[in-house]
Amino acid sequence: MANGTNHFVSVADWSADELLRILERARELRRLYHAGERPQTLQGRTLAMYLEKPSLRTHVTFEAGVTQMGGHAVVLRPDQVGIGTRESPKDVARNLSRWVDGIMARTFSHSLVEQLAREATVPVINGLTDLLHPCQVMSDLQTISEKMEPKDATVAYVGDGNNVANSLVLLASVLGLHLRVATPASHPPAVRVLQRAEKLARESGARVTLTVDPAEAVRDAHFVYTDTWTSMGQEAEVEKRRKIFAAYQVNAELLKHAPDAWIMHCLPAHRGEEITDEILDGPRSLVYEQAENRLHSQKAIMERLMAPAF
C-alpha cells in the first residue's frame, strides 16, 4: 500500500500493485458468485454503514456483500448518530472502532471521511463524498478489464468534473492508463485532485488529457463514460446546469466519433439529459455490469481491509 494506509478513502492512497490485486480478487469473487459459491472470509465481522446521502447501489452492494461473505452490516443514519451535533467525528470513530471491524461512510463532506479515518482504529471505506467515489471507479476498472486490458484502453469521460471524474483521474494516474476528460471550463475536476494526479502520472506514465471539447475526448475511444449533470445537494442548480452541459450529452451524434465504444454510466441516470435512452439501453451499454461489479469490487476491498490475513 502507498503511505501504509489501512483505509480506502482514495485510490491515490494505494499503489498500482495493490489496486491490481484487489481487481484480480474482485474478478475471482464475481466468478465464484455466478458459480453459486460464497467465500466466508468475513465470518463474524461487522461493518458499520454511515449513510448521509440517499443510496441504492452503495447501500445494497455493501450490505449484501458483507452478508454474503459471512459478516453483518449495521446501518447508521445521520439523525441517529448526530455527527457534529450529538457527537464529534472523533468520538463516533473511536466508539465504532471498539464495536465493529470496519466503517463505510457515504457523506457530503470529504473532510468528514478523512476525519473518521484519522481517528478510527478500524478500516474506513469511502462509500462516496462530494470529492471522490473510489469504490465506483474500482468497479469501473473491473468492468473495463472484462472487455480488454485496461492499459490498452482509451477511456473518455464527458460531463461534470465531479467526484466520479476526480476518482477516474486519480485511478488512471496511479495505474498508468489513458483517460480523456471533457468538461465545460467552468466545471473541471478539482484542483487538488489534478495536482496530486500530475505527480502520480509522472511516475506511472499515465496519459490524462483535459479538454472542453467532447468530440475530441471521445474520438476513437474504447469506452465513453458520463454521469449526471446535477449531483445530490445541487438540486437548486438544475436548470443552470442543463444549459451549461447541453453540448455534453452522450448521444448518437457524439458517438459518431467513437462508433465502437462501450458506454459507461455510474447511475443513477437522468435519462434524456446527460445520456439518451437509445444509448443507455443500447447494445454497447455496460451500465448494469458496472452496477453489478460494485458488489464484487467492494467485497474485495472489504476482504483486503477487514480480513487481511486471508
Q: Which residues are catalytic?
A: 106, 133, 136, 227, 266, 294
- 3-state secondary structure at position 229: coil
CA distance 306 to 244: 43
How many CB atoms lie under 10 A from the CB of residue 87?
A: 14
**26's grid cell:** 474482485
**304's grid cell:** 483486503
User: Under a CB-based contact definition with an 8 Å cutoff, are residues 137 and 171 in contact?
Assistant: yes
* CA max distance for the chain: 55
Strand segments, DSSP code E, in the chain are: 46-51, 72-76, 102-106, 124-128, 154-158, 178-182, 207-211, 223-226, 262-265
Cell numbers 495493490 label which residue? 18
CA distance 70 to 170: 32
CA distance 178 to 209: 8
**19's grid cell:** 489496486
CA distance 178 to 180: 7
Q: What residue type is 33 in one-letter code?
A: Y
DSSP state of 267: S
